[in-house]
Amino acid sequence: MFDIIILALALSMDAFAVSIGLGSKGTKRTGSLAIMAGVYFGLFQGVMPLFGYLGGIGLSSWVAAYAPWIAFLLLLLIGSKMIYESISVGIEEDIAKITHKIMLVLAIATSIDAMAAGFSLTLLEVNPIFACGIIGVTTLFFSWIGVFIGAKSGTWLESKAELLGGIVLILIGLKMLFT
C-alpha cells in the first residue's frame, strides 16, 4: 500500500506542475478550472496505468525474468523525463485559452508516463483497480489544488514538483530492482 501511495504521489507531480502553470494564467474562473483540471488529469492518470498493467500481464510470460529490470528502466526514463521537463519551459505557457480540447490533450500528454509506470504494478502485490483508483484520486486532488496554488503564487513551484516527482520515480525503480 505504501508503494502505491508513493507511486501515486510521484505520478501526480506532472499533472500538479501543469495545473500550477494553468492556474498562473490569471483566469477569472479559477474554481471551474481547478475542477476541470482535477477531473481530466485524475481520470486519465487513473485509467492509463491500468493499460500499462494489462500490457505487462500480457507480456509477463515472455519477460518475467527481466520484469524488475524493465520496470526499473521505464521508471528511470519517466523520472529522467520529468527531471528534464523541470528545467525546461512547459507547454501551458503557449496556451492562450483553456478549453476542453486543450485539457484533453494535456491530460493525455501527462498520463502517457502513468501508462508506462503501470507496468510496474505487475511486480507489486496489489489490486490494480484499487491502485489505479488511488493514483487517479491523488492526481485529482493535486491537480485541483495546483490550479489554486498557481493562481496565488505563479509558477515558482511548478518545476520543483516535476523535479521531486522524477526523483521519486527513479527511487521507486531502484527499489524494485533491488528487492
Please give the pLDDT value at position 94: 55
pLDDT digits (tens, 9 = 90+) for 9-20: 988 988 898 898
Reported pTM: 0.79
pLDDT digits (tens, 9 = 90+) for 35-53: 999 999 999 999 999 998 9
**Domain-wise residue ranges, the chain:** 2-178
Please give the pLDDT value at position 48: 94
Please give the pLDDT value at position 164: 82
Q: Give how far the C-alpha of residue 38 lies from the chain's centroid of Cα atoms, to the nearest Å.
A: 12
* Residue with cell string 492556474: 23
Please give the pLDDT value at position 174: 86
What values do phi and psi take at 47, rounded to 5? -85, -40
Does pLDDT of 179 surpass 90? no
